[in-house]
Structure 1
Amino acid sequence: MRQLGETSEQGMELVPQEAARVDPRRRAGIFSLAAGQPRDLLDSVRRRLLLVALLAIAPVATLSMVQGLMHLSGAQDEARQRLLQLAVSAASSQANIIASAESVLQTLQTVDTVRAAGAGCQATLYGATLSLPFVSNMGVLDKEGTITCSAIPGPRSVAGEPWWQSLSKAPSRLAMTERQVSAATRNEIIIVLEPLRAPDGSFDGAMALGLDAARLDTMLRQATVEAGGVAAIFDAAGRELVSNSRALSQVLFDPSRFAGAGNELREVTDATGRSWTYTVAPLDRQGLIAAYALPTQDLFGWTPFAVAASFALPGLVAVLSLVGLWFAVDRMVLQWLNYLRRVTSVYGKGHYRFRPTRLERAPSEFRALGAAVEHMALAVRLRDAKLRENLAEKTALVREIHHRIKNSLQVVVSLLSLYGLGIGQGEDRRRFEELRTRVNTLAVVHRILHEANEGSTVKLRELLRELAALLEGVPDRSLAVRIDAPDLLLPIDMAVPFALMVVEIVLGLAAPDAPRLLPVTVGCDQGGGRFTITIAAGPVAGSGAQPGRFDLDQGFASQLGGQLQRVEDGDNVRVTGDFPLRTGAAPGGQRHGHDRVQAAGPGREP
């Protein structure tokens, strides 16, 4: 266990080191992702629980809906059978009357006196009419449409009637006309026609019988009074023959939909907005069709409400369950998660003395989690204090190192100055002064590092300003250096070669013992993870490399990861370089400064 604890401690010690290596933008993205909005629709505890609840309710809801559909289908079959039975039952009397009328006509056409329209024809037809209460009149017609004999005298010819022309062209076994007013009896009748055949089989007239349409309506009305529905009988052409309520039947029944239709239910609405359901049933006589309608409410009763309840009840249960689960998750889970998130945010800001007292009212799982978070905060607090001590010690050591290096370089500069007292003017003196300037450059960098709060970076503007003062103090150079640079922070491994490169470039541009002051502008800029330096001087006395100089500036540029380019425009010279901005070089601000440093006198020391 002790070894396991030591291993865990070692693993925890690696966390700050690994975190220090992570790019700040990436680290900010990780924390923003952890504390931000859900990444997708189901990236939430509440939504996932709601989805699970919906999946749990779905089978029961589906079963209830299927049961409702089965109930509706059963109710529709039952209603269809009921309407069909009512339609056939209501129209049975009319079908029997039509069958009786057909039998009477077939019997009368076998009587020779009637067939030949003899002397006893009218009496025979009149007696038959009186014996049949549903018959209004009878008659015999020849093939020209002339009435040769009738029980009640009327018009002499029907040749111009459309129904007679249709019968004469295509005589069938039995024909029926639509409702019409009889010229003889002045009441509505339906004419039933039985074609007569000559010995050779040709059309030889017809026996006609007029059914009392009002009596048929009354009989149909009496047959449907208990059911309270609307019934009607239509012929094969879709013409209404009999109805117990002609005003409603003409509104409810659409004969155009009868052709080819089965026994399916149809729903219509009358002029008052009342809903009716009807079906049609074919009769066995001459293509007759019986239609029967009942109010939808009376036909189905509570079935629509039962079906609607079977659909609505699962939805209601689902809504209530989701609402209850929503508030339950919010009160029992999410409120404590949000509280723990705020607690960790407080700890993340360094307030380790905060105590999550509200967790005393939370469930046991969250109290245990809160205690673990509090213990973690205490461990982080102790480790943070230890790290701060180590960091302070490290910073002090680094600053002491830079201080010692700066002092050592100052001693070297002093020794060089003493040694230079014995060197006369000439090429040796010039090289000696350049050497002293290079050593002073190193001393400037380490002095800035020593004075900085953190000894691992150098402020670019401050470094260039110090180098400008150093260059303007070189004895055999007449320079006026102007600085235009942002507040970049350069790591120490870039600061030293950068400073030496700038010094070498400026010393290379300025000719020794020049007759006039050389203006030099040092500019820097950054963008896209790189920074550029531009050193412009002019007019320069003379061009090209100076005798005895080395290309140290290109060597320092290679150490920085870039190259220098020199462009000469007459007496003006511009040197540019482009270098990658390494990790650790961060902008200290976007402000550019313009510094003009004038030498205080020859031999000035930093």
Structure 2
Amino acid sequence: MTETTGERDRAAQAGGWFSAHGLVLRVVAFLTIALMPIGLIAIYQTAEFQRETLRRSELSLLALTAQAGAPVEQTIERAFGVAEALGVVIDELDDAESCSSYLDRYIEGRRLYAMIGLVDADGIMRCSSLDAPLDMRETRIWEQMSVSPNSIVTLSQRTEIADEPVINVASPIETGNGFKGYVQLAIPQRRIASPVSSVSPDRKPIQLVTYNELGEVLTVQNAGKPLEDLLPEGFDLSEQTGLRATASAARAPSGERLVYAVTPLVTGAVFALGIWPAAEGFATPWLTNLFPILMWAASLLVAYYAIHRLVIRHVRRLGRSMRRFGANRQLPPQGTAGDMSRELREIEGEFVQMAGNILQDEARLEDQLRERGILLKEVHHRVKNNLQLISSIMSMQMRRTQDPATREILSRLQDRVLGLATIHRTLYESEDVGRVNAARLLREIVAQQSGASGARPEMTTRLDLEDLELLPDQAVPLSLLTSEALANAMANATPDAEGTTWVSVSLRRENGGTVRLEISNSAPSAMPDQKTASKGARAQGLGMNLIQAFAAQLGGPSETMHEAGIYRLSTGFPVREMQYDPQDY
């Protein structure tokens, strides 16, 4: 897009006596006009200073709040550590009596705790430092644990656990079989609710409150006034349980302006609220008058007009030319605007020269890529032929071998060789030798396994395969894993309740960019274990080892399960987008 002569003349008139083609002189001239209102700069700097002061005051109060709540944090963190450690140790004890004896000795050596106990999955505390079992099913901790087992901190008044208020710390015990109960420790509230002494005397909070994720107050330090008389209207502790520390100023019911600093002490479990007197930065707003703002706006308009006239419109035109070149390799038209600066003209000239070089390089690279593709296909073709030759030699050897076990081993090895040959055949038949259609590859492997000599004619094969493009580095272990797992599934499939013998292969994309491969078969009874397996089943030991190795190459472990008359092998792995990691070079 070119400009007319009239536009060039108007541009020259706008430049005035700044007729030099240097971009620097033009920008300096217009920015000099824009920077005339020095007062605006001073006001802006003042505002920045006030904002920085406010930010520093906020960070200081948050740090002091965290420092004041450090004893509570350390005590509860230590209690969680003890609970997790006891959750492992207690599970090794044989009976409730020895367990309780162990906890009683443990609590005698550590005077911090009033009680330690293990609550079973049925809600009964049979193992504890107390003398008798307790039913915990009516407690708040059990209500929360039964809904979602998580680390819990809560306050209890005088109960059968202790004759004084205690802070209960509960940590769930979970194993591979699910929720087994939780370890509960009771800490006397008086041991950690002492007045604040960990901060400087001149910077103590009016009040320091710790509470749990439900907004329940655990400890109150420097309790000179009731908490209700210090909290502003609408301030709910249960809503102040975020992961980030925050500080805000508000007015208490008495009208006094206070600062409320909230910081997490134990992530997701315990939080601290520090109530501080409002400082200057929190109480004084920043005000400006109208005239400096108008002057600032006028300066911006002048500066914008200058930059737009001299730089932006030319840069946009050059950007459109670059986008056209990137979209359809169209070179920009010859000639430039008469008022374009010397620097931008040089940039446009360099771009035109670079675009021409890119077109030449792309043509050369396309020829090289075409030759590379032909050579790679030829390599895959020859590898496939060699693998088929090896398969034929193995077939000749199988016909000469009298031992059935040896023939079985050679047959399984031949299936693996044919699986590799299938991959290379797919690669040289594909237009893009760097990508493999996983669905097509698995269909050919299933067809190969179904047509093998050991396949049963009454067996039904079910396929649910999504078209996915994989790199060869992932396609090879995927096909070999499928071949091994499918052979095991066909060998061990038995009729289901309806009398149908079937195997199923599924390959689907999941959320998060992962792919899930599932191979299942009908199996009303469990698969034979290694102690009772037959001679043919023991041969699957190598196959299962190979399956685990191939799954590790894909990037995800394999899992097996047997339920509802179905034996299923599953593995999930992420799809790689490039053959090699650039960080390796």
Range class of TM-score, shorter chain:
0.3 to 0.5
Pair member with larger Rg: 1
